[in-house]
Each structure stands twice: as C-alpha cells, then as structure tokens.
Amino acid sequence: MVDTGGEGDAIGYAYNGGGLNNQKLALFGLFKNARDTGRKLVLPYISIVDQIAGSHRPIALDAVFEVDAVTSFARRYEIAIADEDASSREPGGWDYFRAGAQGKRSFSRGGTNGPGDQFTIDFFRCLVPRARNSYLLRKLASDVFEQAGVSVMAQFRVETDWEKYSDRNLAGKVDAREDYLLTPQAIVAKILATLPGTKTIYVACDEHALTVPKASIRQVCREQFGVDLLWKSDFFGTFELSALNFLDLSLIDFEMALRAPVFVGISRSTFSNNATFEKYCLSGSDVSTHYIYNTTEDRLWLRTDNGVVPDPVEASRGHD
C-alpha cells in the first residue's frame, strides 16, 4: 500500500535509486496514485546511478524529460502538481515503483480494453527524453541500423548488479530451467539458433559495470560464432563519451531499442520490458519483432505480451 501522507499533503519522494526504467515505473506509480486519491504530487528528481561506486546523483526531471509533455499529461487527467522542491523529501519511492509495476502488469494484453489502459499509454507517451531528438542519437541510429546494416539489437544483462539481483530475487524463486543468468556467448548462441544468418549484433548494457571486459566478449563471440558485436562506445569518440553520464548512456541504449528492427531482451529486466511496452504505446500496434532469451529452450521466444509481464512463459504465450 502506497503511503499517501497526511490529510491534504502532497505525495512524492526525492528520487528513486533504481535504474532508468525502475525510475520510470516509480514515476508512473506516483502519477497513478495521485489520480486515484485526488492528491497533489511533487515531481521527483531523476537519479544518475553509478553501479560500481554505488552512488546516486539527483538531477531535475526537466533535465532528462520534456517536462511540458509531463505537465500537459497531468492537466488532461486533472492531476495537480505541487509547487514544491522534492529535495527535502526522503529518497526511495519503492512503494510507488511496485504500484507502477503492478499497474503496468494489469494492462490489457493485445489491446486497450481495460480500465486505465489509456491513462497508462498516455503516461508513457508523455515521457519524452530530451535525448530522443538529439543529433547524437539520430547519428548513432543511422550509423548502426542504416550504414552498418544491423538488424538485431540485444540487451546483455551481464553486469555486476544483475548477478546480485538474480541471487537475491530470482534464485530458487523462478522455474529452475529459466535461463536468467546467461553468458554473452550463450545469449548469442540462442540468437543464432532463432535468427540464423545474423552476422552483427548491437549490444545494450552498462559497459562500465561488465563482469568481463568488452574486448574479451567481442573476441570470444567472433571466434566462436563469426559474429561481430557493436556497442555505443564503438561509435562515440573520447569527447562524446566524456560529456555523457551513466543516465545519458542508458537513455541512448533505450532509445536505440525502440528503433531496432529486432530487439532481444530478458523478461526479468525492466529495460527489456519497457522497451517493448513503450514501443507499443508509441506505435499503437502490437510489437511483433521483440524476443526474450531467458527461456527454457536453446533458442529465443517471441514476445506476445507487448512487454507487460516478467514471466517468460506468460510473456511469450503462443510464441512461435
């Protein structure tokens, strides 16, 4: 149950310490709670997370997202935004994150037939990152998908924090056959078993927090499979990389996932799930080219849930 504060109080939190897509779900839960209770809300800060250092640096929401789109959404649904700085509030927002995740899971699969579905779609449409229309992102997308001819993008959830999360939250709690902690080689093997002929894969991950150096992963996959792996850092020079923080890099990967002809992810990741769900919200059509690799077989499963559920069987019900 989300704590809505005292009678008449505005609801909110300073910032959420999760990754980009956890923060989006916390923000969605906050707006959903404000709509359901009629309370005002305080816009939180967005956090720049350094997984290795374990640090969080809050920045204003309007430094990351087009705030006019957010306030316009609030007006349409008669949600009042308090004129208050969130910095004096406690960080966290995990109750709102859980409410947001549950609200997204209750979304009607395959259509907008349930109560609240349009509210959900409109919310994720209003979260327009400033990076979306940047020259840097347009150039990267052109270089990868047009000039290099890459058709497959994959999230490699192989960072240090994923090992800890899996041990704490997934081990012994999900189907023992589910492959949620794969090596990069195992992910590539599943891609090739499902999408034969794939020669190049654009990889999304937190390069700063990889458990194995990027160069080693690239070399092994090239030698074992004849597949070239590309990362965003391969296309950016030292100047561009020095100007981008960890949140910028995550936003770029996410926007690339929305543009990818084929996207391969893991249904236990909010990045993968939101990439599918937001693609659905933006296009208004079922997403039919997204796959997951945390399956019980040596191949990918086609997502059929539009990114709504974390369980791989449910996410790929009726998969090919």
**For residue range 186-242, what is the model confidence (pLDDT) as tens digits?**
999 999 999 999 999 999 999 988 989 999 999 999 999 999 999 999 999 888 888
Among residues of the chain, what percentage have pLDDT more than 90? 79
Count CB neighbours of 280 within 10 A: 21
The reported pLDDT for the residue numbered 7 is: 41
Mean confidence (pLDDT) of the chain: 92
Reported confidence tier of residue 116, pLDDT bands at 50, 70, 90: low
Per-residue confidence at 99, pLDDT binned at 50, 70, 90?
very high
Question: Which CATH number fits the domain 131-315, given the four candidates 3.30.365.10, 3.20.20.10, 1.10.645.10, 3.40.50.11350?
Answer: 3.40.50.11350
Does position 5 have pLDDT exceeding 80, yes or no?
no
pTM of the entire predicted model: 0.92
* pLDDT given at position 56: 84
Q: In the predicted model, what is the mean pLDDT of residues 127-138? A: 94
Instruction: Give the mean model confidence (pLDDT) for residues 53-74.
Output: 93
Domain boundaries in the chain?
20-128, 131-315
pLDDT in tens, 251-270: 999 999 999 999 999 999 99
